[in-house]
Amino acid sequence: MLRVGCIILTTWVLLNLIPASYIVISTTFWGVDSPAIGQILSAKEIQALTQKERTSINSVAVYANGLNVALSLTVVSLIWFGIYRRLRWAFWSVCFGLGLAVIGGALGDWVLGNVHPEISLISALILALGASFAWIGLHSSSETEDELSSR
């Protein structure tokens, strides 16, 4: 159960890491506008943007997605070097950090008026499923520390 929970949590993190990394790279190095510009503004409003406004929006997108990448990499480390090794503090750190990320993402969508509650719900359910399996695995006695260290 512990391994299944860790795999589900890692999958959730990767589903967030990949698009965030793409936004950072494409906006920074390829000069592509952040997807947020198209989500927030109409085509007419996008054309009316000054370069300074466009740069400001893109810089916030790079910063926010860069933080997402940093959180994702940190959480993957906590999952496999903490939770998988049965360190309960790592479990709570991951749950708290990813829980705040889900809430923050949902609130950010809500503030922008770009509300997709089904996406936030699916994200929260996947996170809860992974955390549940990890929790069960942390509390089961079927896998001893000797078995874990031999893998």
φ, ψ of residue 50 to 5 degrees: the values are -80, 165
* 76-101 burial code (b ≥16 CB/10 A, e <16): bebbeebbbebeeebbebbbeebeeb
pLDDT band, very low/low/confident/very high, at 73 (cuts 50, 70, 90): very high
Query: Is a pLDDT exceeding 90 seen at residue 17?
Result: yes
Gap between the Cα atoms of 77 and 60, Å rounded: 26
Q: Report the percent of the chain where pLDDT is more than 70.
A: 92
Give the tens place of pLDDT for each residue, 26-52.
999 998 999 888 888 889 999 999 999
pLDDT of residue 146: 46
Burial degree of 55 (CB within 10 A; 0-12, 13-18, 19+): exposed
Average pLDDT rounded to a whole number, residues 64-70: 96
Gap between the Cα atoms of 58 and 24, Å rounded: 9
